[in-house]
Every structure is written in C-alpha cells, then in structure tokens.
Amino acid sequence: MMLTSEMIRAARALVRWEQTDLAEATGLSLATIKRLEKESGPIPGTRATAAALEAAFSKARIEFSFDRGEGVTRLKAPAK
C-alpha cells in the first residue's frame, strides 16, 4: 500500500512536527513536503521519497498499518 497525504499529516500531528521538522528529518525540501501534503490520496513522487518519509517516521516511533484500507497511523510505545 502507499502512503497518503492524510497519513503524513496525521503522523506529523502525533509527533508534533511542523512541515519544516519533517523536511529536516527526511532530507526532503520544504517545498516537497508541502506538495506531498497538498492533495488528498496517495502521495506523488518516487519510491525514494516514500522511503525517506517512512524511515523518518519509523525513527520517531510512528507505525503505518494498511490492514483497514487506506491505513492507520499510530505512535508506538517506547522501546524498553
């Protein structure tokens, strides 16, 4: 399944990141983050862009689940 702009915005909200924080965490430009979040639905762009987003959110303990269609975003418990 693919990440959607709604999932990205929800994940940012969970970790209380601004778009600039996400740009810094992913190495993507702020303009790219804004473009990705602008439209509803699956994010446009390359697999590398999606991988950068997934890696940054994973490091921030965000988990994406696709078992209910579009996907669910949640904050994982800290490692013990």
How high is the pLDDT of residue 68?
63
* CA atoms of 19 and 31, how far apart (whole Å): 9
* CA atoms of 26 and 34, how far apart (whole Å): 13
* CA atoms of 78 and 28, how far apart (whole Å): 26
Give the tens place of pLDDT for each residue, 4-18. 999 999 999 999 999
The 10 Å CB-count burial string (b at 16+, else e) for 33-49 is beebbeeeeebeeeeeb
Topology, domain 5-75: 434 Repressor (Amino-terminal Domain) (1.10.260)
Q: Structural domain boundaries of the chain?
A: 5-75
CA 26 to chain centre: 10
More confident residue, 21 or 43: 21
How high is the pLDDT of residue 78?
74
Give the tens place of pLDDT for each residue, 27-80. 999 999 999 999 899 998 889 999 999 999 999 999 888 776 666 667 777 766
SS3 label, residue 29: coil
How high is the pLDDT of residue 63?
86
